[in-house]
Amino acid sequence: MGQEVVCTARWAGKSVRGKALLEGTEILFRGNPRLKIPFSSIRDIAAVDGELRLKTSAGTVIFKLGERAEKWRQKIVNPKSVLEKLGVRAGQVVAVFGNADAKFIEKLRVQGSYVEREKFSAETPWIFRFVEVADGLSGIKKLAGRMQGCTALWVVYPKGQKTITEDAVLAAGRKAGLKDVKVVSFSATHTALKFVLPVAKR
């Protein structure tokens, strides 16, 4: 998800080696111990000598990122909108299946996208399938069977749930003959995983 880099993080007198991940609304650090830093908790941010220095509500955290420090700072200060991350542009047709997020639908309509509910045509560039439990993944095969050309399918599912995992979503898409190409943070509670047809089938 997002961007990731193996680095050293320092906080509260600790220096820990691990993997830092820049998500849409937070930084995750997978080390021992782990860290989760929501952007909303950051009070000040600077990139100095290859270090990303964060003053948060819980204290100061420093990530040694090298040349990526300034790039991460800019992404945190000026985050992309969810539609920019997903690649949906104004005027494009978007097909939505499942219990879609109302705010997402509103964002699509505000930017000028045409929203189709529970249907799509061969010319539809974007399909979004919202699932909350693993049983909902069974619908991916039917959608994949009707996809043509460069149409992309985004599967949007809850984060951090044992009932529906990233591995389960990946397996459902691949079993349906699709290729996974991208993962983004859809919201604070959901992840979006993008599938397309393999080049040979387009």
d(CA 158, CA 190) in angstroms, rounded, equals 4
Q: What's the pTM?
A: 0.73
Residue 160, pLDDT score: 85
The b-or-e profile of 156-190 (16+ CB within 10 A means b, else e) is: bbbeeeeebeeeebbebbeebebebeebbbbbeeb
Q: For the segment 28-70, what is each residue's pLDDT rounded down to a tens digit?
A: 999 999 999 999 899 999 999 999 999 998 899 999 999 999 9
Confidence of residue 18 (pLDDT cuts 50, 70, 90): very high
DSSP 3-state of 86: helix
Q: For the segment 62-89, what is each residue's pLDDT rounded down to a tens digit?
A: 999 999 999 999 999 998 889 999 999 9
- Could you state, in order of their start, the residue ranges of all structural domains in the chain? 3-77, 82-201
DSSP 3-state of 96: strand
Q: Single out the residue of 197, 103, 74, 97 nearest to residue 156, CA to CA.
A: 97
The CATH class for the domain spanning 3-77 reads mainly beta
The CATH-assigned architecture of domain 82-201 is: 3-Layer(aba) Sandwich (3.40)
For the record, the structure tokens of 95 come out as 């097909």
Rounded (5°) CA angle 86-89-95: 70
Domains 3-77 and 82-201 fall in the same CATH topology: no
